[in-house]
Structure 1
Amino acid sequence: MYGHGAAPPSRSSGTVIFLRVLIASAGFLTCGLLTCLPLFRVAVLRGKWYDWVLGWVSIPVAIIGLVVIGSLPESDPRTDLALSAILLLGAFGSVHFLVADIQHHRDRQLPFPGYIPQPPPRTGYGYPQAASPYAATHQQTPIPQTPMPQTPTPQTPVPQTPVPPPAPPQRPAPARIDQVRAELDELSDYLRKREGNEGDSR
């Protein structure tokens, strides 16, 4: 119903406590008439044969006790004995159910006995790979192999193409430098002419 490997949804703690109180009180509050209810619940939880026998035996014991109480007069001490037996049977069924149910839920919360939790394997560079516990443990015996004679294969030389020498680095064209040089020449010619004109005028 829940698929392969899927666990059924767990009950909440409130539901568990409510069912526990309801089943435990069924035997005692009905004066032992429904003592078989908590005892059968214990048999379902444990699955032991003696729990089933105890549940089935409680039914005729409760019926016989009620027959004795109803058929004999009230002053007969056997009625008191039958009523005490039925009430003790109901109390025993309730206590037995509570102990078994609490133990069952406690065992479900604990890990399996003898189980040692393993840390997760660290995989990656520098960490060894952990072996799976389910891997096959038998060892295979190696089969001896005779080495095959190897004949050397002739290798043809691969012609190597010469690597051309690197080209000398190209200098950028000095366009700006030539322009500045030309302007400086013009300026110096202008200054010479000016000086020459001033000398003539003196």
Structure 2
Amino acid sequence: MYGHGAAPPARSSGTVIVLRVLFAAAGFLSCGLFACAPLFRVAFLRGRPIDWVLSWASLPLSIACFAVVGSLPETDPKTDIALSLVLLLGLFSSAYFLVTDIRIHQQRRFVGYPPPHGPTVHTGYGYPQPAPPPYTTLVPQPQPPAPPQPPAPPQRPAPARIDQVRAELDELSDYLRKHDSNHDGDHNGNHEGGR
């Protein structure tokens, strides 16, 4: 998407912090109702099957816990267990997201990705280009002017492909004319011959 040799644009540190706060808050402050949001974010970042399983399993677990809390009376100990479980799910998902997101961004910063505001060399498509030389200060030094070069003798360009094809077609038409004139006497003016 970004071409050969070009890294995706890096997010600013403010954007990364805001996203961390929002995803962590979604898991914990919703009392576990949106505990799947930080887990899905981790699954998108890492792409591991275990993260996808955890994120999809958190949905029915939180729904089931809230169903137990809403359907049973408050005095039933099952409601306390279900509410504790959904709160722990929210806490776990937020903590797991924060630890994983911080590790991922540290690995990207130290392994192969340029710093957010550092110099980059965009090569576009094709073969990688060498990096430009570092900036140096040039000290002007007087140099004698170079002697004038005599003009190069004009060179006749090699015949183009079109000229070669034209010459071959001329030869072929001459050959066919000679061939047709030899056969005109044999066929009594019938040019259709074997066609």
Q: Which band: TM-score by shorter chain?
A: 0.5 to 0.7
Q: CA RMSD for the aligned pairs?
A: 1.4
1:47 corresponding residue in structure 2: 47
Is structure 2 residue 112 aligned with structure 1 residue 106? no
Give the Cα–Cα distance (whole angstroms) in 2 for the partners of residues 29 and 96 of structure 1: 15
| Percent pairwise identity | 64
Name 2:97's counterpart in structure 1: 97
Q: Which has the higher contact order (CA 8 A, sep 6+)?
A: 2
Q: CA deviation at 1:111?
A: 3.0
- Unaligned runs of 5+ residues in structure 1 are 113-119, 121-202
Match of 2:88 in 1: 88
User: In the aligned structure 1, how far is the partner of 2:67 from the partner of 2:44?
Assistant: 29
**Cα displacement (A) at 1:15:** 0.6
Which residue in 2 is equivalent to 1:68?
A: 68
Q: Deviations over 1:2-21 (max 9, x none)?
A: 33322121111011000000
> What residue is the counterpart of 1:14 in the other structure?
14
Secondary structure of 1:23's aligned partner? helix
Once the two structures are superposed, residues 83-130 of structure 1 have per-residue CA deviations (whole angstroms, 9 ceiling, x without a partner) of 000000000000000000000000001136xxxxxxx9xxxxxxxxxx
Offset at 1:62?
0.2
> How many Å separate the matches in 2 of 1:49 and 1:33?
23
Mapped to 1, the partners of 2:9 and 2:51 lie a distance apart of 27
The one-letter code sitting in structure 2 at the alignment partner of 1:64 is A
- Residues 1-202 of structure 1: matches in 2 within 5 Å? 1-111=1-111
Structure (1 or 2) with the larger CA radius of gyration: 1
2:181 aligns with none
What is the SS of the residue equivalent to 1:40?
Answer: helix
- The amino acid across from 1:44 in the alignment is F
User: So what's the TM-score if we normalise by structure 2?
Assistant: 0.56
Equivalent in the alignment of 1:141: none
Equivalent position amino acid for 1:38 in 2: P
Offset at 1:24? Answer: 0.8
- Counterpart-to-counterpart distance in 1, 2:54 and 2:2: 33
Cα distance, 1:46 vs structure 2: 1.0
How many residues are matched? 113
The code of the aligned residue for 2:20 comes to R
- The separation in 2 between residues aligned to 1:38 and 1:53, in whole angstroms, is 13
Q: State how far apart, in whole Å, the 2-side matches of 1:5 and 1:50 are.
A: 31
Distance 2:31 2:48 in 1: 26
- The amino acid of 1:27's aligned partner reads G
Which consecutive unaligned segments of at least 5 residues does structure 2 have? 113-130, 132-195
Matched residue type, 1:62: S
Show structure 1 runs of 4+ deviating over 3 A.
none
Q: Structure 1 length normalisation: TM-score?
A: 0.54
Q: Kindly state the Cα deviation for residue 34 of structure 1 after the two structures are TM-superposed.
A: 0.7
Q: Aligned partners of 1:44 and 1:85: how far apart in 2?
A: 25
* Paired AA for residue 50 in structure 1: I
Instruction: Report the secondary structure of 1:87's partner residue.
Output: helix
